[in-house]
Amino acid sequence: MSAIKINWTKINQPRLVFQRFPGRRSQVYSGKGIIACSQPLAAQAGLEILHKGGNAADAAVAIAAALNITEPTSCGIGGDAFCLFYDAQTKTVKALNGSGRAPKKLTLEYLRRYGIGGSQIFLTDLNSVTVPGAAAAWVDTVQTLGSHNLSVAEVLAPAIRLAEEGVPVSEVASFSWQRSKRLLESASPNGDEMLRNGNAPLPGEIMRFTNLARTFRAVAEHGKDGFYKGEVAKAIIELIQSKGGVMELEDLESHKTTFVEPIKYTYGGEVTIYECPPNGQGITALLALGILEQMQEQGKIKPLLEMEHNSSEYLHALIEALRLAFSDSRYYVTDPKFGHIPVDELLSKEYLAKRASLFNPTKANLGITHGNPVNWSDTVYFTVGDQWGNACSYIQSNYTGFGTGAIPKGCGFTLQNRGSGFVLRDGHPNNVEGGKRPYHTIIPAMALKGDDLFLSYGVMGGFMQPQGHVQVLLNILRGFTAQAALDAPRFCISAGTPEVDDDDDEFSVVNSEVYFEDSLPSATIAKLIDMGHNTRVVSNFDRAIVGRGQIIQKLVNEAGEFVWAGGSDPRADGHVAPQI
């Protein structure tokens, strides 16, 4: 793989000799802990835990809980979570799957009788609610990956305080809140629990969440039982069943987090990217990187890092590789407990070479089978590094913004709609079944050089996430700082209308828009149009479609001393917070 060998001397050089991309602000350094987060108050919750002796995993849960207060428009205890944890002592990456399962009584036959046609459960239908996995994920993260210096109650204390005292709403969150006002009003009789005097809060207005604080206290005092049993659980079931849902208390009581073996791919012979395995879509990023590598091996494109950054040639290669990757992952990714997923086969050099052979250097390929991504950008991702060198890559989501928008009475949070990720079709690997986890979009990432941590990073935003993982990683390998790698313009391939061919029962792409940020040159976009790409240009708040990322990078000098360097996406409300 000599054609794409990476110059690690430059990449691991802690002293910035030159700037490859004019970032919008400086990256942040820390000799102790560091947090890159989409919301400053949530970052402060994490810093509080680091100062009390917690490690990166402890701080991550404090941030996760705080984000339910500062950014409920994207996440919360009514949603799911995934985690990658780098253990500096053992030099290993551990993975946690905190996604929930469909109710045991939920079947395709029931949904058809219930009146749901088409290929997915409606986003506002409470049959789209899978068991919320976030609460168990928080507890298990602290108890299994945490420092054991702090209890779950101590880790949740900053979030409880924020909920009771109130927080001023930030700009991006306010925009999303206002967009969702009608959803909150109509989804359940309890919409006022997430509104301010009947309205969505404006930037700077204070929101208090006394009911949510009570839910958090139940978890702090009783652990997982505080959420999956007792009053909170009863309120969830009462609401879902009142709207025609089939979830029962036993579905909640039987929920368990799963610790899983991460999947990985080594790019350029030296940097290994880690993702959570299916039912998450992390394999999409690994497939795309493998296809890009094979495109270079076959001489179809120049080495990526030698191409002009974000040139039409460069963007075309990335777009096409990601389309090919999604065509496989959207078909094969499902709950591995319900069917074999050929992960090793998909990531084999032989298969990747076969997929790369489909690439046309001059023309977009719109005839790809097995599906195509759709897009939502309502998730939170954050990452934490601690003074001992551990790192936690953490992500949680309600799926689409507030999810269903439905609020269990007196609980102060909305229920997710992750069950809309099922494909309602007999024989499809991701068809709905009782007790099954659906295709999941939220994915944290890490990259190692050998067994040493290189990056802990992610880009939140539905099906944008693996696309962001690829674009941001390649920016770093090109020599961008963590901050500049996030500042650089991005693209997002989205969906046209997938249609089913009755003859072979395969998805085929009949249209596939590509969204580009308006900071990309118009001449570049014009060349991509000439290649056959259906382009859209986005600006202002619409730039959320390209996701919101966070990065921390571990920089090591000749003496073996390390510092953290961090970047936070300007498309969100957050920043990087160093520990003093």
Tally: H helices and E strands in the chain: 19, 21
Contact present, 459 and 468 (Cβ < 8 Å): yes
Could you count the other beta carbons within 10 Å of the beta carbon of residue 15?
A: 6
Tokens of 32: 């102790």
CA separation (Å) from 282 to 42, 278, 463? Answer: 25, 7, 10
Angle between helices 210-222 and 56-70 (to 10 degrees): 150
User: Is 124 a residue of the active site?
Assistant: no
Q: Apex CA 478: angle with CA 311 and CA 14, to 5°?
A: 150
Q: Can you tell me the distance from the alpha carbon of 177 to that of 471, in angstroms, rounded to the nearest whole number?
A: 29
Going by DSSP bridges, is the β-strand pair 534-538/513-517 parallel, antiparallel, or unpaired?
parallel
Cα-only R_g, the chain: 22
Beta bridge partners of 264: 274
The closest of 320, 291, 319, 317 to 306, measured between CA atoms, is 317
Beta bridge partners of 98: 81
**Largest alpha-carbon pair distance within the chain?**
67
- Amino acid letter for position 49: I
The closest of 370, 358, 355, 359 to 317, measured between CA atoms, is 359
Residue 497: burial class (beta carbons within 10 Å; 0-12, 13-18, 19+): exposed
Residue of 130, 141, 284, 379 marked catalytic? 379
Q: Can you tell me the distance from the alpha carbon of 102 to that of 418, in angstroms, rounded to the nearest whole number?
A: 9
Contact present, 438 and 421 (Cβ < 8 Å): yes
Tokens of 549: 């990322």
For tokens 């060998």, name the residue: 5
CA separation (Å) from 499 to 119, 182, 372, 387, 562? Answer: 10, 31, 10, 51, 51
> Alpha helices, DSSP H only, in 97-196?
108-114, 134-140, 152-165, 171-179, 181-187
* Torsion angle of the four alpha carbons 334, 335, 339, 344, in this order, in degrees rounded to the nearest 10: 70
Q: Can you tell me the distance from the alpha carbon of 74 to that of 243, in angstroms, rounded to the nearest whole number?
A: 23
Q: In what order do the strands lie in the sheet with 491-493?
A: 491-493, 513-517, 534-538
Active site residues per annotation? 379
